[in-house]
Amino acid sequence: MPKYLIERDIPGAGKLSAQELKAISQKSCGVLNRLGPEIQWIESYVTKDKIFCVYRAASEEMVRQHAREGGFPADRISEVTSVIDPSTAE
């Protein structure tokens, strides 16, 4: 399945409490369970005013459907074409 990076503009995201992040995660997991195995949440990174999420999904539309059903913004969705890290330089 393709991998996607989703950028979610959420003012104040970096100030969300552990309980608020847990609630967001629970809501997301509930939607994922309904959508089935064609979409998987890998991880997310919380910054000051954004949350960046990494998903595997059958299509970009599946990522958009997850966002709609969960009430989450999906301001930018980019398909990951390659992954590099320091070992790439070797």
Per-residue pLDDT tens over the stretch 41-82:
999 999 999 999 999 999 999 999 999 999 999 999 999 999
C-alpha distances (whole Å) from 10 to each of 51, 75, 89 are 7, 10, 35
Look at residue 57 and tell me if it is in a domain.
yes
| pLDDT score recorded for residue 66 | 98
Look at residue 90 and tell me if it is in a domain.
no
Report pTM. 0.92
Counted domains in the chain: 1
For the chain, first and last CA: distance in Å?
27
Helix axes 18-35, 60-70, angle to 10 degrees: 130
Look at residue 89 and tell me if it is in a domain.
no
Q: At 77, which CATH number?
A: 3.30.70.3090
Look at residue 88 and tell me if it is in a domain.
no
| pLDDT score recorded for residue 27 | 96
Look at residue 28 and tell me if it is in a domain.
yes
Q: In terms of residue numbers, what domain contains 33?
A: 3-83
